[in-house]
A and B are shown apart, each in its own frame.
Chain A
């Protein structure tokens, strides 16, 4: 009797006080608050790399890192609503050319196509507050030598002359990290098949990726593609 009543009292107290004491970390709010620090000129076009650099420079745990990286679009640089669902897709790994599958949080579906076609993934190791972790990141080649560097993108964010600007974006083996591939791993055949037949990552992306650049008007249009191709 005594044990049961003790347990009962304990459970009820916890239940009633949970709501008033719970105050989770609000990652989305933090990014909104610091948006003007991340983009001082207010140009976030294709500036996913700026978000990645801002996040990884924070003193945070691996969990924080994962959560923050769900909240911006690596292709467009847009913020994403906290309850958005990712697209499951694959991207080629730069060293092995193997397909790596995982989840990509995007602002709109054309960005899933662009990231599949114009980025690569690399494994990256990093020491967080709770230890060293390994994960896959999306990368693009150094764009700083391009003659057709898109004029709607702030070049100073990415480049220091012809070099990658390490102070503004994360440089991984002379490539710019533009975002995180969540839950990345080598693809199974079934997963590749799933992605290829999916209505977005399969059929829609095939259509988009076969559309001439000058006719692209969805998503970031041609801005990211010009930067990343």
Chain B
């Protein structure tokens, strides 16, 4: 009788070991929203992460639609708005998209605010390109010689593209119902080069990312609505749309949040692209075509907005955060072989949240990413801030590549090489939907992982290999 009972108990223990992972979903995120000082209900949209005041620390730049644009800086345990100059806060222009990069090669990032006062076609107020001169912000578009190049078409997202690989960033402006724009500074004057570069296509532009997708230069993937996506292959600074050939045109779906992610931990960037109430894609390049390897839970249609791929919990595996509007958010862990495992959210689920954008940064510099979610669109809501609950002894490594001008090398690729993985991350040029992440490759460290090396592939395709002797730090690497 005793042996029968012990047999039965053994089986129950085995059973519990097997089923516990399925029934116990420890809360992944902690709600840190109370750290945001003065967090009224408002219509917020895209978020970028950049150092707006050139003090060496990043701020979350949060756009406002009829509300002020904010720059949330981390001070004394709180996130507080430090932008008060009117040209920056600019609450009358209705900003939705934002991206930052060093357009004028002074080593500091300018901020592109994409304003949209109409859904599609011609808009009233143009975009702004904000530069800091001394202590004063100015709008480069307001300089007389630049006024002929204003973007007066409704748009959505912006991404920074170093198309020539020399640190001279251009801005891809994803317009809606009018031609795409591509701005660069040439001879101290801003110029729209979209026509020369074969980029001035008219579509329902939604999201855009840039990085080493196909070539050793900055390629572009643009997720569009009511038309095919673009996959723009960089041929010595000129672009060729190869979306159809690479099978990412997804012509009858409506593109939204998009990000670059090393889905197979194989040392290359692939594409995750959400579709509005359509199948979400996890595109992995194989034999010169992208295959969608998203499983039935991952690809399930939803009211998707931003998508972020990042290691929130420092376990060495990236998570994919799906920000849905007026529908619960979702989170997946990308396991080996491209398996997407859903992590059931409790905190951060936001079933009634009108999510419009989100971005990650280690804003408090503790080695764990913060996730800031902006909300709004049709209902004023507060911002929300989350941080993953990480294991006590978790380790991390943060890589911050700077280009030859000393500016964040957006579009460069960092690859962590260890005995367990070859894991690439892009230095974000613009991603999600309307957003841009911090210009840092953030890695959590896996259990028993060793032999750490890093490879940085700069925007000109040149590679640099670095040995890592110490973890739990941010390493700045300057392009030679």
Interface residues of A (CB under 8 A from B): 1-2, 5-6, 9, 12-13, 16-17, 19-20, 22-24, 26, 29, 32-33, 35-36, 42, 79
Contacts and interface: CB of A to CB of B under 8 A. Distances in A.
Interface string B196-209: 00000000000000
14 contacts: A1-B8, A2-B4, A5-B8, A9-B12, A9-B15, A12-B15, A24-B296, A29-B299, A32-B252, A32-B279, A33-B250, A36-B244, A36-B251, A79-B252
B21 to A, nearest CB: 9
Nearest to B22: A16
Q: Is the interface of A mostly helix, strand, loop or mixed?
A: helix
B19 interface: yes
A142 to B, nearest CB: 29
Contacts of B15: 9, 12-13
Given A13-B18, A26-B299, A35-B251, 14 more contacts: A2-B7, A13-B19, A16-B18, A19-B22, A20-B22, A23-B295, A24-B296, A26-B296, A29-B299, A32-B250, A32-B253, A33-B250, A36-B228, A36-B251
Given A33-B247, A35-B252, A16 B19 contact: yes
Contacts of A22: 296
Contacts of B19: 12-13, 16
Nearest to B252: A35
Nearest to B295: A23
Contacts of B379: none
B142 interface: no
B147 interface: no
Nearest to B279: A29
Contacts of B8: 1, 5
Contacts of B244: 36
Nearest to A26: B296
A79 B11 CA distance: 50
A33 B293 CA distance: 12
> In the complex, which of the residues A19, A20, A33 has the most CB atoms of chain B within 10 Å of its own CB atom?
A33
Contacts of B2: none
B306 to A, nearest CB: 22
Interface of B: 4, 7-8, 11-12, 14-15, 18-19, 22-23, 228, 244, 247, 249-253, 278-279, 292, 295-296, 299, 341
Nearest to A33: B292
A184 to B, nearest CB: 29
- Name, among A2, A6, A23, A29, the residue most crowded by chain B CB atoms within 10 Å (CB to CB): A29
B18 A17 contact: yes
Contacts of A9: 11-12, 14-15
A143 B250 CA distance: 31
Contacts of A33: 247, 250, 292
Nearest to A40: B244
A23 B296 contact: yes
Nearest to A20: B22
A13 B23 CA distance: 12
A17 B22 contact: yes
Contacts of B295: 23
Nearest to A4: B8
B198 to A, nearest CB: 20
A215 B250 CA distance: 35
Nearest to B341: A20
Contacts of B296: 22-24, 26
A32 B301 CA distance: 13
A35 B275 CA distance: 15
A127 to B, nearest CB: 27
B283 to A, nearest CB: 10
Contacts of A24: 296
Contacts of A42: 251
A20 B279 CA distance: 19
Nearest to B244: A36
A20 B251 CA distance: 30
Contacts of A19: 22
Contacts of B12: 9
10 pairs of A and B residues whose beta carbons are closest in the complex = A16-B19, A36-B251, A29-B279, A9-B11, A5-B8, A35-B252, A16-B22, A23-B295, A36-B249, A23-B296
Contacts of B22: 16-17, 19-20
Nearest to A6: B11
A42 B251 CA distance: 9
A161 to B, nearest CB: 28
A1 B11 CA distance: 12
B274 to A, nearest CB: 14
Contacts of B11: 5-6, 9
A20 B252 CA distance: 29
A29 B292 CA distance: 10
B227 to A, nearest CB: 9
Contacts of A2: 4, 7
A23 B298 CA distance: 11
A46 to B, nearest CB: 17
Nearest to A29: B279
Contacts of A23: 295-296
A37 to B, nearest CB: 8
Contacts of B292: 29, 33
Contacts of B14: 9
A42 B278 CA distance: 19
B230 to A, nearest CB: 13
Contact of B278 (A6, A16, A17, A32): A32
